């Protein structure tokens, strides 16, 4: 099993929004970065665990909870929907360029594990999230890092 961190802006789609979806499940659409796409297309498997990260948050930036991969990658249909803001003329139903997975709500932390706490925790110093210049919206996480963040959320 693999572990991941997925970023979302809570103003756009928060952990509460995921909770309120039918079946608490939602397609992770709109990823338009090749590295992030490749993670979803090639490596994310059903049952993988996801740290649900609130970026650019008005309140607190950090990990807000846990989700689980509910469906493995399939073409991101918003990429050939002309009305979608994620429309990409180079993607088609015949030749999809972009892919997504479905994620399902697992739990909301009692409190946000903030980015600054993560930076301060020596056990998390190698997390790709806090490497310089990292802007990837989907990142692999080690099991030890995943467990550490879970532990921090309980404190």
Three-state DSSP at 153 gives helix
Nearer to DNA, 20 or 56 (CB): 56
Q: Which of residues 22-51 bind DNA (CB under 7 A)?
A: 32-35
Q: Is 116 in the site for DNA (CB under 7 A)?
A: yes
Return the bridge partners of 113, or none.
63
For residues 96 and 79, what is the distance between their CA atoms, to the nearest angstrom?
A: 8
> Which residue do the tokens 């989907």 mark?
138
Size of the site for DNA (CB under 7 A): 18
Of 46 and 111, CB closest to DNA: 111
Instruction: In whole angstroms, give the CA distance from residue 49 to residue 4.
Output: 6
Q: What is the largest CA-CA distance in the chain?
A: 49
Provide the minimum distance between the beta carbon of 91 and DNA in the complex, in angstroms, as a whole number. 11
Q: Contact between 7 and DNA (CB under 7 A)?
A: yes
Residues at the contact surface with DNA, assessed by CB under 7 A: 7, 9, 32-35, 55-57, 61, 115-116, 132-137
């Amino acid at each position: 099993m693999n572990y991941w961190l997925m970023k979302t802006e809570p103003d756009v789609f928060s952990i509460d929004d995921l909770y309120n979806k039918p079946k608490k499940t939602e397609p992770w659409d709109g990823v338009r970065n090749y590295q992030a796409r490749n993670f979803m297309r090639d490596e994310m498997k059903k049952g993988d665990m996801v740290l649900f990260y609130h970026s650019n948050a008005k309140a607190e930036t950090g990990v807000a909870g846990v989700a689980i991969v509910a469906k493995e990658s399939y073409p991101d249909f918003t990429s050939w929907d002309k009305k979608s803001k994620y429309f990409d003329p180079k993607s088609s139903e015949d030749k999809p360029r972009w892919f997504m997975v479905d994620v399902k709500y697992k739990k909301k932390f009692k409190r946000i594990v903030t980015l600054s706490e993560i930076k301060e925790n020596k056990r998390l110093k190698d997390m790709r999230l806090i490497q310089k210049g990292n802007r990837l919206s989907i990142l692999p996480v080690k099991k030890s890092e995943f467990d550490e963040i879970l532990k921090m959320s309980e404190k």
